[in-house]
Structure 1
Amino acid sequence: MSDVDRRRLLFGVLPAAALLLTGCARSAAEERSTPPPLALVYNGPQGCADCAPAIATLLRKAPQPFRVQYVGPGTGTPLTAEVLAEARLYVQPGGGADLDGTWRRLSASAEVVRAWVRDGGSYLGLCFGAYLAGRDPGFDLLPGDTRGYTGTEGATVPDARDTVVPVDWQGRRRHMYFQDGPAFVLDKGADATVLATYPNGTAAVVVAPYGRGRVGVSGPHPEADASWYAEKGLSNPDGVRTDLAYELIEATVGRR
């Protein structure tokens, strides 16, 4: 090949390569400029200082990360239709002991939350927040209702102690932090996916549609970090892992 031919080849290839590189750089820059979706986490008076921060940390570090904003009494941000309109996910965390008292603070926002989920939002309820996804009192977002796991026939936990429970997570035996969480009693023929069951077969983790939105609820605590176990002198045979939390979050939010 002559020097002239080589120059023609180089000058023909380099501009095309430069265009490809420019396009990739522009695409990456555009992706970086798009903020992560917003998750609202209730952090009003509810009896657990660690519960909202634990799920907030997981959401920020998720494979598909979220921006997190706390809402509720004492946060400076009320739970309103305008605030929800900016969010993809609303989280009602665990940790409460007074269901009726917390519901009194939330009941004024109940229809706003229902309408938001019905129109495409996603509700994630963990332990106490899962109770609140049920009825009387609650947001009434489930195709069925909740009841305390300890009160179900054949329950392996007899009281409200902090403990670790085995679950069947879609055919895998796993262990989860548990403290007086609910089981889910689904209506016959309910459109719902049971992600995990307790040892007595009752539903422990459920995802269900609600209008155009989705509701994910868990009786145990998939968000519990190592400090929770250490404080109560507990250990998890699987190790302290976050994969179940992320599976539940993804199933609740979907890839939208």
Structure 2
Amino acid sequence: MVILPKWVRGLALVLAFYSPVAFAENAASIRVALYDDAGAVGKGVPSVSEILKHAGGYEITTFKTGDIAKGVLENKDVVIFTGGSGSKEGTTIGDAGREAVKKFVQDGGGYLGICAGAYLACSKYPWSLGLLDAQTVSSKWRRGVGDVQLEITPAGQHLSSLSTEKRNIHYANGPIIKPAGRTDLAPYEPLAFFRTELAEHDSPVGAMVNSPAIVRGRFGKGRVIISSPHPEQTPGLEIIVERAVHWLATGDKP
């Protein structure tokens, strides 16, 4: 099998979406590796799978920790870590797995982290990947589960085609972030902000309001998007997931 460089595949993907020329299905498909092992629990994996399958043009491979060493990330365009426990995901894939994911992104792959997967991408945890200049504002992460209000930024509107009006989104103890002060990483760009909050279990009141809810950044040659809340589990906002994966693979809006 001939393995095309990532830039060639990226060009083919863009042309497949914009051109009337019919490309073979394999050439047009965005190849996604979706983590489905310890730490990834709840509706995240099946919801993301269903969204991408319904959208079409995505080749989805679910993988376990042991598959990383077997090369599951080779020839993939995007890796996704969904909700559950970021520390469990990070410790389960271990040092070697974390280095493999970092190298995948650094070499030009895309990373999407939702809730736990967002924690995993942050800096300053011993089990995290450090893909973004982001850290949590407090160690008290049990803020609660429920709907909160989200406002999409102009950059997020361009990515998702959703309007900038405020809307509700499902939240389940996702990270509340601020810059980590890492000079080796570029600043992240907010795609959406929280406009209301949950602040249960003695978590700091006011820390969540107006903080970034969804951000994107660069790591090496690759792209990163993390979402603290759950667009994949919010009716009407599932498109954020599909458009995020497409941007991560191609750098372009569908």
- 1:218 and 2:221 aligned: no
- 1:168 and 2:165 aligned: no
Distance 1:209 1:51, change over 3 A: same
Larger Rg: 1
Secondary structure class of the residue paired with 1:164? strand
Note if contact 1:216-1:251 (Cα within 8 Å) is conserved in structure 2. Answer: no
Runs (4 or more) in structure 1 with deviation over 4 Å come to 147-151, 187-190
- Residue by residue, what CA displacement relative to the aligned partner does 1:1-29 show, whole Å, maximum 9, x if unpaired? xxxxxxxxxxxxxxxxxxxxxxxxx943x
Unpaired stretches in structure 1, ≥5 consecutive residues: 1-25, 152-158, 226-238
Alpha-carbon separation, structure 1, partners of 2:61 and 2:122: 24
Give the number of aligned pairs.
Answer: 204
Unpaired stretches in structure 2, ≥5 consecutive residues: 1-19, 154-163, 196-208
Note the C-alpha offset of 1:86. Answer: 1.4
- Residue by residue, what CA displacement relative to the aligned partner does 1:126-182 show, whole Å, maximum 9, x if unpaired? 00010000131201100222346976xxxxxxx543211111111431221100011
TM-score when scaled to structure 2?
0.71
Aligned to 1:43: 36
Distance 1:33 1:42, change over 3 A: closer
Matches within 5 A, 1:121-160: 121-135=109-123, 136=125, 137-147=127-137, 159-160=142-143
Note if contact 1:88-1:122 (Cα within 8 Å) is conserved in structure 2. Answer: yes
Higher RCO structure, 1 or 2 (CA under 8 Å, sep 6+): 2
Note if contact 1:131-1:147 (Cα within 8 Å) is conserved in structure 2. Answer: no
Note the C-alpha offset of 1:183. Answer: 1.9
Aligned to 2:98: 110
Distance 1:177 1:81, change over 3 A: same
Note if contact 1:149-1:180 (Cα within 8 Å) is conserved in structure 2. Answer: no
Matches within 5 A, 1:94-109: 94-96=83-85, 99-107=86-94, 108-109=96-97
Letter of the 1:221 partner, please give it. H
Aligned to 1:204: 213
- Sequence identity of aligned pairs in percent? 23
TM-score when scaled to structure 1?
0.70
- Residue by residue, what CA displacement relative to the aligned partner does 1:225-245 show, whole Å, maximum 9, x if unpaired? 5xxxxxxxxxxxxx5442333
Secondary structure class of the residue paired with 2:71? helix
